[in-house]
Amino acid sequence: MRPRTTARRLARVAGLVLAFSGLLSAAACSGDEGGAKSSPSRSEAAAPSASEPTAAATSASPSPSVPPPSLPAAAAAGGLCASVTFTEVRQALGLTFQIAAASGKSGSARTCVLTPLEAALPDLTFVATPLGGDEVSAEDYEKDFVPDNSSEIDGLGRSGYQQLIAATGSAGPVARIGWLGDKNVYTLSLATEQGTGSTEAKAYLPKLQALAPKVIPT
C-alpha cells in the first residue's frame, strides 16, 4: 500500500470513529508528509564538470519510500478500551481490528469501539452502563434490560443473554451478548459486514461470550 493512500484511509476511518469518542484525530492524521526534508532544487545542486557524462549529470537518485504511519494499541484509547488488545480480539473472533476509540466517563455509560483500518464494518462495540448504586437483582435485569427476542446464557455475571439482530440494508446481522455485573450492565456487540448470513453471524455468539471476560474492565 502506498504511504499517502494509507494516511488518507487512516484519516477517513478516524473521522468515523470520532463520532463515538473524539480521541483519535491526532493519531489518524499523522504521517501524510512523513516529515521528510525536500530534495534540493536543480538550481541548488552543483553543476557537473565538463568531463562528466551528460547522463550522470541529469540522472536523479530514487526517492526513499516513506513508511506508513504506525497505529496505536487498542488500550491506548483509554477508558473502557484499557483492557482490550487487538490480538485477543483477533484470536477470539478471527477478525482484525486496528482502530480503537473510547468515550464516556466514570459514573456514566462508557463505550469502546473497534473498527478495521480500511472499512466501516465489521465493528465491535463494548458498553458498560453503571447501575448507580441501585440493587438490581437477576429478575430485575431480565425484566428491564433483556430483549424479548433473546436467549439466556450462563457463565457471565449474575445473569446474561445472547441475541441475533437481523441484517439491515447497509449491514449484516448483529451478534450481541449482555450480562449483569456487580456495578454495571454490559453489552458486547459485533456488527457484521453487508452480505453476512445469519448462520455465520450466529456463530460469533459463543466467541463473544469467550471474549467477554477479557474485556471486562478491572
Three-state DSSP class for residue 112: strand
Q: What is the pLDDT of residue 132?
A: 87
| Spatial distance between the Cα atoms of 218 and 215, rounded to a whole number of angstroms | 9
Cα separation values, 137 from 142, 145, 162, 193, 194, Å:
9, 11, 18, 36, 37
Q: What is the pLDDT of residue 68?
A: 52
Q: What is the pLDDT of residue 217?
A: 79
| Spatial distance between the Cα atoms of 188 and 85, rounded to a whole number of angstroms | 15
Report the C-alpha dihedral over residues 109, 27, 124, 91, rounded to 10 degrees. -130
Q: What is the pLDDT of residue 83?
A: 92
Q: What is the pLDDT of residue 106?
A: 86
Q: Are the beta carbons of 80 and 126 closer than 8 angstroms?
A: yes
Of the candidates 38, 33, 29, which has an alpha carbon nearest to the alpha carbon of residue 66?
A: 33
What is the CA 186 to chain-centroid distance, rounded?
18
Q: What is the pLDDT of residue 134?
A: 83
Please return the burial class of 131, using the count of CB atoms within 10 Å of its CB with bins 0-12, 13-18 and 19+: middle
Q: What is the pLDDT along the chain (218 residues), one digit of tens a residue?
A: 444 444 444 444 444 444 444 433 333 333 333 334 344 333 333 344 444 444 444 444 444 545 456 889 999 999 999 999 999 999 999 999 999 999 999 889 999 999 999 999 999 999 999 998 888 999 999 999 999 999 999 999 999 999 999 999 899 999 999 999 999 999 999 999 999 999 999 999 999 999 999 998 76
Which pTM does this prediction carry? 0.69
Radius of gyration of the chain (CA): 24
Q: Are the beta carbons of 209 and 151 closer than 8 angstroms?
A: no
What is the CA 59 to chain-centroid distance, rounded?
45
Reported as a single tens digit per residue, the pLDDT across 166-194 is 999 899 999 999 999 999 999 999 999 99
